[in-house]
Structure 1
Amino acid sequence: MGTLHFESSTNLKDLIGRRLVTNKISAIFELVKNSFDADAEEVLVEIDEDKDTLIIADNGNGMSLKDIANKWMVIGTDNKKGKNVSLKGRPLNGEKGIGRFSVDRLGSKLTLISSIGEHDKTVKVNFEWESFEDQDGKKIGEIPVYYNFLEKRHKKGVKLVISGLRDAWGPSEVERLEKKLRGLLSPFSNLDNFPFKIILHSEKNGYKKKLLEPYSLKEISSLWIEFEISKEDTSLIRYLLYRNGALIDEREYENPYTFGPLKLTLYSFDRGDKASFNNRFNESVRNFGSIRIYRDFFQIYPYGEPDNDWLSLDIRKAQGHFRFLGVRDVIGYIQIFREYNHGFIDATNRQGLVENEALQQLRQFIQRDVMPKLEEYFFLKKNKDSNNQHRIHREEITSAAKSLKVIAKEIKKYSPSNAEKVIELTKLIQKTNQEQDKIIRNQQDIVDVYKRMASKETLLHGIIHQVLIRMTNLQTAIYNQKFEVEEKDLPSDVINSLMQSFDFLIKTSKEISSFLLDARDHLLKKREKSKIDISTYLKKVFQDYESSLISDQIAYTINGPEKTFLNIDINDFKVIFENLLSNSRKSLRKVSDRQKKIEVNFQVNNRSINFLFKDNGIGIPKDEVPHIFTPFYTTHDDGFGMGLAIVDELVQTHNGEINVVIPKEKEFGATFQISFKV
């Protein structure tokens, strides 16, 4: 029986090179990953436009001439197949044996210089990619590749010198490369056990051996969530939710998915966070990208890139702008593992993963578990600023009306009558939007007047003024009664008793007047910030109410690091926590089936001081939560609805924010988080 064998033409070079790796950034990614697989601790990416070269050099294991001939130059080599880790125990990335053709995508020539150590000769191999082109009838193995040994020995590692560059590498391109390389390394990377530095050098473009590190967003995002399905127990999903660096919610529940272990961190960005992000990175959240997938140490391209909405977040957001987050509102990282997540398979073109059950489950997990939990807290916070919502809503309607006008112009070419109807509808939308805007602005003006009237200083000053008038009237009435009693023919002991009572009332009323005058003078003073010991002043607030708390059978605890200081007006600090304490007492008075407790915990991180003020009272109905900071809105029969409005205003005055923490299932009471920036 005769035998046949496959052969490869020279066209194969293009099929698995430039035609497969079409993106220059992706081509560099592949070569950087190869350095990682070679156990390099450092890889240099150097661009020199003047010399028309791009160099990728590492200090990894290097290759001998035999390695180059039998591994690097064997297309589709299986030398990594079946291996999960490198010699140093690193998880391997490449296993298809075609990544080396990325160099053809980057330039027409390659000089490969490799050494496996000081005692071995350094080999230099020259590749002229054009020599493989237009070679009709020739096999790829018939094209000679020349090499020689260098007299000077090199340190262990591989150096790729790519010339005849196929792309321009100006300032904007190098800046983009920097951002992409920074995002290439997983934020979950264990760089302590597996040190791996990516260094970018392009002196002409202002990069002098710059070390590129993964982005850190915890100092920018004010609200983020972390999910984990651990390798040790994939039957459970656990999440931790943070606001301003403080843990405010956590839960563990049964895992219905089968894709295996993962880690996920998802950051949300409100308007202030987006401004901070832009200032820090000179880029918008939208242009940065959204939710990326990482396998072991590296990003799986193109998930989470600016134009890759693989989770259809914007389609989802279109169904409810004030219920759902879109790609311009979140940045996320998903960590999977080659060793454990066997369902995630590389696509043949090395761009993404194969569309299968595992990937579909991952989408469902993010859409059904992750996003709703983050959105629940994000929009709870946003609901405090209804005026801002209205403004955004107004802008969106205006934008939609403009789009309708553009559509009408296109329709007019084919159906003038229908185009006229669209134009009339657009005018109606714009008119209604303007009228609605006017009504809301008038309502907001009224609310602003009330808020100004109800601000702490104005409200209390007005109350003090009215009470002082009434105290003066009371003193006058007591004096008149005193004179009338003296003129009455009454027993002397009765007169003496009444006179003592009158004197006591006059003395007490004068003391009250004096106290109110001092209080008024204090309110008229300018706020004076001072450095206060948090623990000491919290204890003082509670000690002032000690007898009332004992009477109401309410226990309290204050926990936090000693000698922690906050720069704030002392009186404002007192008013903030007195109001919260007052609300808790009102709530706890309605409780009779459990021990009544108030807990105050405070902690410090590198961005803020966080207070969690918690009671186990009757709590706040979920539908009332968005309104509790609104002036004159109250959930108590005996309340005026000003306490939390004043607290909110005072906290904001000191560059802070107050938010409600959503209670866990079957948890009693209410919890408030107050954050002050450090």
Structure 2
Amino acid sequence: MAKVSFRTNILLKSIIGKDLITDDNIAVLELVKNSFDAGSNEAKIIFRDVITELSTKEYKKYNQSKIILRDTGSGMSEYDLINKWLNIAYSEKKSKKEEFNRQLAGNKGVGRFSCDRLGKSLVIYTKKNDEPFLKLSIDWTEFEKVDDIEKNIQDVDFELDKIPIEQYVKETQLEKFEEGTTLFISNLREDWDLSKIQSLKRQLERFINPNQNFEAESFDVIIKADEFKKIERGLPESEKINGVVKNRIFNKLDFKATYIKANISEDGKTITTVLRDRGNEIFTLKEHNPFDLLKDIEVNIYYLNPYSKAYFKRQTGIRSVDFGSIFLFINGFRIPPYGDQGNDWLGMELRKGQGHSRFLGTREVIGRIEINGVELDDEKEDFFIISNRSGVDNNKHYEQLTKNSAPYGYYFKTFRRLERFVDEGIKWDSTPLKESAIEKKVLDDKNWNEGKEEYKEDLLTRNKRVISIIEKIINAKNDEIISLSINKELVTELADEQAKKAKAEIDSIVGQLNNKTLSSEQITQLINDLKSSENEIENFPGQASQIELLKKEQSKLKLELEKKFEETKELEDEAIRLEEEAKKLQEELELEKEKNTYLKTSSRTLTEDAKGLVHNIKITSRKISSSVDNLYDKILNDSYTKNSLLKSLGAIKFQSEKANKISKIITRSNFKTDRNAQIADVVQYIKQYIEIYSDIYPRNELEFKIVEKDTSLTKKFSVLDMSVVLDDLISNSEKAGASLIEIDMTNPSKEELRILFSDDGKGVAEKFLEDEKSKNKIFELGITTTNGGSGIGLNSVREGLKSMNGTIKLIGNNVKLKGACFEIIIK
């Protein structure tokens, strides 16, 4: 039997290189990790000749663009290059685990193939301390010959040279270094414009742990892209690309947001949880760790209220929702894509959608989970990073960390405490303003500070509730808790504030009691205010000496208020009794007065002088009216119309009619008030006016029919003007030969009266019925509907109705009766 074995075709390079690592930003991150693992204090990413005018097709074929990654780490010897770097999948990190006092970031031995993802050519310049300067050149396209089935990876040779340092400086145009590695990647596979480099910077900001939780010196990532420096001058700080990449966001939020931090100790025995709010520590809890597979893990979660979101955008230039949510860091470096926008790896959005408005989602929180001391070994049970860098393996460790149903994993155990605090403690920090309005205020106001924030409740009420529900927030059994420390300073501060508030309320009540003549209702309100103050003190979390003293003062004041209430109530009851007696007498007087109200007349009560005055007013009014009619006849029979003169005469006619009406109603009680506007029921006035119309015109043989059912409209109007309106309409009906007039009154709405005034006369001429314009013409000054008429009557009706916010229009003939029908609307 023949023995066979696998062969390593040259296309394996692409499988573990550019095809495996499909994201340029992740490729750069892998190289940065290698610099970190090499003990370097920095990784410098340099872009050269990346601004191009080539077409996409030309660029893919060949370009001059370069990415240079340089570090000052330990460098590599010739042995390291041949036996380690060129040994596919070999990684001494699997055995070392830690070097340069750092937990190593990489582990798979394929990060070096990130160079293939970025560019077609690679030159490695490296130097180990006290060893020669080495140069290794690789052309990745040599491995991309699809049809060469016989060629294996190991069949492709590279040039490895020892070079003087001066050659390095000449070829790279970089400064000398004593130890470290430079990766010179050229003929790039993708176009790196400004937006792409900005995207890389944002990703690197997320990749770097804000705590710099490294046991040795700090590690900086620096981007250098000189081609874009001129463009950068007009950009905000958050959009610039040159300089040190820093993740400062979480530290800046410490005093702006509500957040919780939980830490599993390095030995995995305990969990310490600290909850902070607006710069104040609320509690510190130490408890036994129920997660046997988890140790040395820290969870930080920040709740962003509308103001915190606005601060976030002001500091970073981007919205928090665009930044991401909960990121995962292992051994100091972030594991993508966890926490990216739209990546709900913890199932928070799914949980919120299935559950309640009380749940927090990815839009309300940002944070990080930091897992340290992870042994990145395939053979050991621990968190395990997948080779294509797209996350970690969903094993038992991962489940204990992320389980989002009971019994909850470590993250949700912590997260749900914050969630209860937000919902039941601070009530979501609700504001009276919309989120968009808050963002605009914070971004536009250069002098904005936290003192300008507006919330629906005061800070004292909010913080009292916070302290009172700590046990509910923690939700732990006594045997699980090792220690619990509540911020005593905060409790004392709240007690002082509560005492000041209660004292001020007491002083205010005493002041009102001593300085005012109070009603029983006002005293009742003071008693209720005092009860509210008592409840606030009674429910105060923890008691202090000043609170106890205030309780006694409140009790004494309560007795005084109750005594004052009884005395005041007795006096008020007596006043009410006397008032009711007076009211009864007034009602009896009003009944007598009603006999002579509105339109009820009694000329027998007039003196002889008054009767003579009434007679003279009637004669004078009729003479004025007759004279005006004669004048109109002469003007209308002329060959022209003097409209302005007609208007003046119309006013004289209208006033004369008013004088005539005075003579008709002056015998009524309170007749003086009829001359001016007064408040009355329009419907009742019309009914009473029509009822006694035969008394005003004794020879009138017209029959009147009033139609209404519970109709009314009470308003302020001139009853004299209304009399003129009715008289003119009735006069027109008489001239049209009517024997019956019907007045139909209804309420289309509570504030509106509709009157249909109809008669059985001969109606109006057809020329006034052609269209709406013709119908309106009938109300114009000088237009008459009867032979020998003046054309003033209907115009006077319209003007009179205007004074009481009324309108009139002609409906037509044969609407209700055979004659004309007018519609009057009064509001």
Normalised by the length of structure 1, the TM-score is 0.58
- 1: distance between equivalents of 2:163 and 2:208? 34
**Deviation at residue 337 of structure 1 after TM alignment:** 2.4
Which residue, out of 124, 139, 148, partners 2:135? Answer: 124
1:25 maps to 25
1:92 matched to 2:104? The reply is yes
Taking the TM superposition and a 5 Å limit, the aligned residue runs for 1:544-583 are none
Secondary structure at the residue paired with 1:310?
Answer: coil
1:63 maps to 76
Secondary structure at the residue paired with 2:98?
Answer: coil
- 2: distance between equivalents of 1:611 and 1:176? 48
Q: Letter of the aligned partner of 1:258 in structure 2?
A: D
**Deviation at residue 123 of structure 1 after TM alignment:** 1.4
Taking the TM superposition and a 5 Å limit, the aligned residue runs for 1:330-479 are 330-339=365-374, 342-364=381-403, 365-366=409-410, 368-380=412-424, 383=427
- 2: distance between equivalents of 1:130 and 1:311? 41
Contact kept, 8 Å, 2:263 with 2:272, in 1: the verdict is: yes
1:326 matched to 2:361? The reply is yes
Which residue, out of 197, 201, 206, partners 1:183? Answer: 206
- 2: distance between equivalents of 1:295 and 1:60? 21
1:502 maps to none
Which residue, out of 517, 522, 530, partners 1:639? Answer: 530
Which residue, out of 197, 214, 217, partners 2:247? Answer: 214
- 2: distance between equivalents of 1:580 and 1:27? 48
Contact kept, 8 Å, 2:124 with 2:135, in 1: the verdict is: yes
- 1: distance between equivalents of 2:534 and 2:34? 62
**Deviation at residue 204 of structure 1 after TM alignment:** 2.5
**Deviation at residue 63 of structure 1 after TM alignment:** 0.9
**Deviation at residue 284 of structure 1 after TM alignment:** 1.0
- 2: distance between equivalents of 1:249 and 1:204? 51
- 2: distance between equivalents of 1:612 and 1:93? 46
Quickly say closer, same or farther: Cα 1:668–1:96, change in 2 above 3 A: farther
Secondary structure at the residue paired with 1:294?
Answer: strand
**Deviation at residue 289 of structure 1 after TM alignment:** 1.0
Q: Deviations over 1:102-138 (max 9, x none)?
A: 1111111111111113x43211111111111113320
Which residue, out of 597, 601, 620, partners 2:489? Answer: 601
Secondary structure at the residue paired with 1:14?
Answer: helix
Taking the TM superposition and a 5 Å limit, the aligned residue runs for 1:99-138 are 99-117=111-129, 119-134=130-145, 135-138=148-151
Aligned-residue identity in percent: 28
Contact kept, 8 Å, 1:187 with 1:333, in 2: the verdict is: no
Contact kept, 8 Å, 1:600 with 1:614, in 2: the verdict is: no
1:247 matched to 2:281? The reply is yes
Deviates further, 185-194 or 287-296: 185-194
2:494 maps to 613
Secondary structure at the residue paired with 1:81?
Answer: helix
1:83 matched to 2:96? The reply is yes
Contact kept, 8 Å, 2:68 with 2:185, in 1: the verdict is: yes
Greater relative CO (CA pairs within 8 A, separation 6+): 1
Q: Deviations over 1:13-37 (max 9, x none)?
A: 0110111101111101100000011
Gaps of 5+ in 1: 393-565, 569-574, 585-598, 603-609, 618-633, 648-659, 673-678
Which residue, out of 237, 249, 266, partners 1:231? Answer: 266
Contact kept, 8 Å, 1:222 with 1:269, in 2: the verdict is: yes
- 1: distance between equivalents of 2:322 and 2:134? 43
Q: Letter of the aligned partner of 1:69 in structure 2?
A: I
Q: Letter of the aligned partner of 1:313 in structure 2?
A: M
Q: How many residue pairs were aligned?
A: 431
Quickly say closer, same or farther: Cα 1:644–1:189, change in 2 above 3 A: farther
Quickly say closer, same or farther: Cα 1:580–1:368, change in 2 above 3 A: closer
Contact kept, 8 Å, 1:291 with 1:304, in 2: the verdict is: yes
Taking the TM superposition and a 5 Å limit, the aligned residue runs for 1:460-539 are none
2:216 maps to 193
Q: Letter of the aligned partner of 2:137 in structure 1?
A: N
Secondary structure at the residue paired with 1:237?
Answer: strand
**Deviation at residue 383 of structure 1 after TM alignment:** 3.1
- 1: distance between equivalents of 2:462 and 2:186? 70
Contact kept, 8 Å, 1:224 with 1:268, in 2: the verdict is: yes
Q: Deviations over 1:391-439 (max 9, x none)?
A: 79xxxxxxxxxxxxxxxxxxxxxxxxxxxxxxxxxxxxxxxxxxxxxxx
Quickly say closer, same or farther: Cα 1:22–1:669, change in 2 above 3 A: farther
Quickly say closer, same or farther: Cα 1:323–1:213, change in 2 above 3 A: same
**Deviation at residue 255 of structure 1 after TM alignment:** 2.1
- 2: distance between equivalents of 1:580 and 1:370? 21
Q: Letter of the aligned partner of 2:143 in structure 1?
A: F
1:418 maps to none
**Deviation at residue 55 of structure 1 after TM alignment:** 0.8
Secondary structure at the residue paired with 1:307?
Answer: coil
**Deviation at residue 179 of structure 1 after TM alignment:** 1.4
Q: Letter of the aligned partner of 1:91 in structure 2?
A: Q
- Report which of the two structures shows the higher radius of gyration computed on alpha carbons: 2
**Deviation at residue 66 of structure 1 after TM alignment:** 2.0
RMSD of aligned alpha carbons: 3.8
Q: Deviations over 1:569-597 (max 9, x none)?
A: xxxxxx9999999xx9xxxxxxxxxxxxx
